[in-house]
Structure 1
Amino acid sequence: MNRILSQKFRFFTFISICLLGYVHGYNLNITYLAPYSTIDEPLSFTTFSEFLIANGLLRFRIPILFVISGYLFAYYDNRSYTDSIKKRFKTLIIPYLLWSAIALLFTFLLQLNSYTANIVKEAGIDQFGDNRPYLEIGWKGLIGRWILAPIAYQLWFILALFVYNLMYPFILYCIRKVPIIWMCFSLLIWLVSFQIFIFDGQGLFFFSVGIWAQKKGLFLEKRPEWLSTGIFLILFIGLCIIKTFMAFELEPNTGTTFFTLMLLHRASVICGMIAIWYGIDPIIKKTVQQKWFLQISNYSFFIFALHVPLLPYLMKMVILATEGIWMNRLLSYLFVPLLVILFCVMVGSLVKKYFLRAYLLLTGGRGY
């Protein structure tokens, strides 16, 4: 892999993970934003801005991370499949289980105090929709949350990525033998948000794009001359704005609303990926040469793994504490995620300095 592409991968990995803070840091009444989500609170500058950013302008990140992951897995597939899966178990599943357990323990400790227990309940981020104290839920419920539905809900990406790694020989076969059929099939799975048990179809198409790009030698470093990033940027922003207005106006829980918002969301993601990937090369070139970037980007995985559930709990605490203050929701949205990201970097640096073996275990050996 050449240096330009390597730097591009590092930049987008770090930026995409940092932006997760602003995707997960919204303080709208709805606790989970899906592509088809509608908003049941009044349209205001705050609600419009948060929805536009969290469920529109920043939604290109995870697909880009899957493209990078697919490319890198294909790039290093000279290793035996067994060795690759063993390595991925160490770098993905072990951190997944450790961070899921840490999030459960953190939440449990908060539930022991009446004030913080109310914060946990008000945040409402349990994936099973049961925000009772864990003492009431019991061990069976905790095991399910530890393995299948972490309170640190961003960890779904790790589990999905590991499943795609397991599927790699099949995906590669399809890309080589029936590329058009496979890409259309995986695109359809993404369009309809297909999911069953631990298989999540949100990233399969983009993981496949990464494999296809690596095997076909596609030129990802620079923008093709025929491609206009300006047009895609206009489409990206325009579609996000239109979708945001519709989320406030359309009737919720109808088939028409579902498909309208879903198609607008998917189209905006594709346009955003193309516009951002090829449109900010000068920024990437300048940023990756900065000393601060080289230092902080080492803690990308720590930011990814630690920011939830800390962020939604802190956000809820700040919102409740600042009720009555003008623009408190928007100001909280702008600053609380940034504070959490900086806190994650600080904790990561301290763990790396004083508990290196634990750091390597928690990150799967990344950033060292």
Structure 2
Amino acid sequence: MTNDKLLSQSINFLRFPLIIGILYVHFYLAKTGLSIHGVKYGADAPAWFFYLNVFCSGILSAVSVPMFFWFSGLLFFYKTEFCLEAYKKKLRRRVRTLLVPYILWNLIAILWTAKIFVPGLSSLFSNADGVKLNLTIWGFINCFYDNSRGLFLAPEVNLVNPAIPINGPLWYIRDLMVLVLISPVLYWLIKKLRVWLLLVMAVFYLFIHLPGYANQFMAPALFFSWGAYYSINKVDVIERFRKVWFAPLVFILVSIVDLATYGTSVSLLMGGLEPFIGIVSLMVIASYLLEKGKVKVNDTLANSSFFIFALHTMIIFELAKVLFLVLHLPDSPYALLGLYLTVPFITAFVCIGLYLFLKRFMPTLCSWLTGGR
């Protein structure tokens, strides 16, 4: 197997595990608990459950989104002689693959959120208490950028990182569209400054807190540029990463230090380093397993990953509540542990089932929702 094919297969193989990681990021039960009919279950979970959540949802899974940005930068410039015509062609393609799904899935999220105003249903759904309607044109527009000022105003607003659309995970698509628009600038900077650009961006990412959206945008820009660097400079990623075969061991060590020092400045630094080491580690592991024939790419899992990504936050807590009520689970940490370990996978396979249904019976709609993926 050539390194080019191995790189492509490694990326496709990792899509589904990374999506599962994102589901765990958003199913952080130790922080959110599980609210049903006004009662919050899991509010007093023991320390071991909290640290398990920190490890799975805050450390292991934190690699997922940076790695998707890394993939995007790598593939955007992959085997391309970048020029004005190539840029125009890529922009036209991204309208279909990014902009249209972004609009459609946020519209779906608006309709989904509106259900909390149906009499008798509000107590069944997450985050319904105290939500007020903001029926203005700007409220509608903000649903696509900053939902804290959108149609549905929550009593508590996340002031640390408020600029996310109503379909929260799609901030990734929004920032990716911005990166695509400024890709000629990034291309020029990478060609001129090479690795120095990445080092400067990494310093800002790790140590300097920028104001407003600039701080939020630094991580996407860094990991997109890191991936782009390899393609622009025609670096063989598989060959380069083979030289650091020990990266998974380093990641384990850094993760242990992060968990042991949780809540300190050391933990913050470890958390900043983990995506870098994690990306290399996952590429090393995936390419090795694929090359040795230990695993194969499952096309259904790879192709449905975007659909899972776009849908999961609308249903993951609702599925958890259904399981909690149907199975008559007690308010115990072990019941919560069972939910925590299984619900992200159940959610993923529910999404896959819906994806396959749409692909079979409504292929045009499925194509628009997934950008033709």
Relative to the length of structure 2, the TM-score reads 0.80
Shift of 1:245: 3.7
Selected match of 2:229 from 200, 212, 218: 212
Partner Cα distance (1:96, 1:195) in 2: 26
Partner Cα distance (1:188, 1:319) in 2: 45
Aligned to 1:93: 99
Selected match of 1:28 from 27, 30, 33: 30
Partner Cα distance (1:197, 1:63) in 2: 17
Once the two structures are superposed, what CA deviation does each residue of 1:25-66 show, in whole Å capped at 9, x if it has no partner?
A: 2212358xxxxxxxx966522211111010001222222211
1:175–1:182 CA contact under 8 A, matched in 2: yes
Shift of 1:306: 0.8
Moved more, 270-279 or 216-225: 216-225
1:299–1:345 CA contact under 8 A, matched in 2: yes
Aligned to 1:106: 112
Partner Cα distance (1:273, 1:246) in 2: 22
The change in CA–CA distance for 1:80 and 1:260 in structure 2 (over 3 A counts) is same
Aligned to 2:285: 279
Residue type at the aligned position of 1:201: M
Shift of 1:115: 4.7
Partner Cα distance (1:58, 1:337) in 2: 12
1:295 and 2:300 correspond: yes
Identical-pair percentage: 24
Give the aligned length: 336
Shift of 1:5: 1.4
Once the two structures are superposed, what CA deviation does each residue of 1:253-289 show, in whole Å capped at 9, x if it has no partner?
A: xxxx4x4332110122222222221134343344663
Moved more, 332-341 or 213-222: 213-222
Selected match of 2:67 from 64, 68, 79: 64
Aligned to 1:185: 200
Q: In angstroms, what is the RMSD of aligned CA positions?
A: 2.7
Once the two structures are superposed, what CA deviation does each residue of 1:208-233 show, in whole Å capped at 9, x if it has no partner?
A: 1111101222222246564242xx32
Partner Cα distance (2:301, 2:89) in 1: 30
Shift of 1:342: 0.3
Once the two structures are superposed, what CA deviation does each residue of 1:171-218 show, in whole Å capped at 9, x if it has no partner?
A: 111111112331122213432464744872222111111111012222
Alignment of 1:285-324 (within 5 A): 285=291, 286=293, 289=296, 293-315=298-320, 318=323, 322-324=329-331
Aligned to 2:20: 18
Aligned to 1:359: 366
2:45–2:333 CA contact under 8 A, matched in 1: no
Aligned to 2:250: 235
1:25–1:315 CA contact under 8 A, matched in 2: no
Question: Aligned with 1:58: secondary structure?
Answer: helix
Aligned to 2:37: none
Aligned to 2:169: 154
The change in CA–CA distance for 1:193 and 1:20 in structure 2 (over 3 A counts) is farther
Partner Cα distance (1:5, 1:336) in 2: 31
Residue type at the aligned position of 2:23: G
Aligned to 2:52: 49
Selected match of 1:84 from 81, 85, 90: 90
Partner Cα distance (1:203, 1:222) in 2: 25
Relative to the length of structure 1, the TM-score reads 0.81
Once the two structures are superposed, what CA deviation does each residue of 1:99-141 show, in whole Å capped at 9, x if it has no partner?
A: 111112112114424354453227xxxxxxxx6435x333443
Unmatched tracts of structure 2, length 5 or more: 34-42, 147-163
1:46–1:330 CA contact under 8 A, matched in 2: yes
Alignment of 1:119-158 (within 5 A): 119-121=125-127, 132-133=130-131, 136-139=133-136, 140-148=138-146, 149-158=164-173
The change in CA–CA distance for 1:195 and 1:11 in structure 2 (over 3 A counts) is farther
The change in CA–CA distance for 1:195 and 1:16 in structure 2 (over 3 A counts) is farther
Aligned to 2:186: 171
2:248–2:281 CA contact under 8 A, matched in 1: yes
Residue type at the aligned position of 1:277: M
1:333 and 2:333 correspond: no
Partner Cα distance (1:300, 1:244) in 2: 29
Shift of 1:153: 1.1
